[in-house]
Amino acid sequence: MPILGQNQYGKAETRVVKITRDGATHHVKDLNVSVSLSGDMDEVHYSGSNASVLPTDTTKNTVYAFAKEHGIESAEQFGIHLARHFVTSQESIHRARVRVEEYAWDRIEHAGEGAHSFARRGQEVRLAQITYDGEAWEVVSGLKDLVVMNSTDSEFWGYVKDKYTTLPEAYDRVLATEVSARWRFRWTGDGQQAPDWEESYARTRQHILRAFAETYSLSLQQTLYRMGARVIDHRGEIDEIRFSLPNKHHFLVDLKPFGLKNDNEVYFAADRPYGLIEATVLRDGCEARIPVDLTNL
């Protein structure tokens, strides 16, 4: 006899922009919110009874209403407000997972009165996932699409070679990647003081970038570890960080046919295929919980 397994439902990718007007100065929060709910939902699958189902349209409306009622202090705090509401207000809902993408805007300074002009900041996206089951919280933050490059201080040599190896050893190469990272907080509620989410994100991002810039790299794996280790060493609120780093290869162009010498100056930026380096860095004694496949987080 078939039985129902794990299931959830909700409203995905609700786009909400909250403008806070502080006199003539405005502040913008631009989010993409996905809500997933699970609990006592057997009957809607077996018989079609909707008696325990909160409509997904209601979850969408709740996102908009909470943007007004609670404001958006941070992606994490907004997700916490939503997850708590769904679990505590509906008897049939036992677990809520809220995923948030945040798109950053930089203020454009201008001569007129007020500060209300903005430009979208690059392609980097801030991420948060909040999970609540009525007792414990799990908060995972992160970022994606952060493209970084070192134009020197990177080597790659001494690797295994077989009859199919054609890659020449490199003692001065370009190292570039598009950082996708998730980090899990040790905070689980239960009377603990929550981190300052905005400060934590800014500092964690800064440590990732500093480690990338300051590591003389012999491999992208080494750089990844240094990035994660620096975060664990400097951010006591974080127990685990996972990276997925595609190696954005830059190959020297052969200029000899044109009678020119290429002294590490002209490169071909290849978009595919690419090496993909992934790993988790943990605080000693902590258990890994972030999924290996970051696309599922």
List beta partners, residue 120: 105
Cα–Cα nearest to 175, from 146, 207, 151, 211: 151
Point out the catalytic residue in the list 11, 29, 81, 144: 11
Q: Tell me, what amino acid is at 83?
A: A
Distances (CA, A) of 202 to 179, 207, 209, 220: 15, 9, 11, 23
Spacing of C-alpha 211 from chain mean position = 18
Point out the catalytic residue in the list 18, 26, 27, 56: 56
Backbone angles phi, psi at 152, to 5 degrees: -160, -165
* Cβ contacts of 119 within 8 Å, gap of 6 or more: 105, 106, 108
State yes or no: is 11 an active-site residue: yes
Cα–Cα nearest to 217, from 145, 282, 152, 148: 152
The first and second tokens of residue 67, run together, are: 């943007």
Task: Give the span between the Cα atoms of 42 and 52, in whole angstroms.
Answer: 9
Could you identify the residue written with the tokens 């790659």? 156
Q: How many CA atoms are closer than 13 Å to the CA of 117, on its beta-carbon side?
A: 7
Q: Are residues 211 and 222 in contact, defined by beta-carbon separation less than 8 angstroms?
A: no
Q: Provide the phi-psi class of 173: left if phi over 0, else alpha when psi is between -120 and 50, else beta.
A: beta
Task: Give the span between the Cα atoms of 97 and 82, in whole angstroms.
Answer: 9
State yes or no: is 249 an active-site residue: yes
In this structure, the number of other CB atoms found within 10 A of the CB of residue 131 comes to 17
State yes or no: is 116 an active-site residue: no
| Residues known to be catalytic | 11, 56, 249
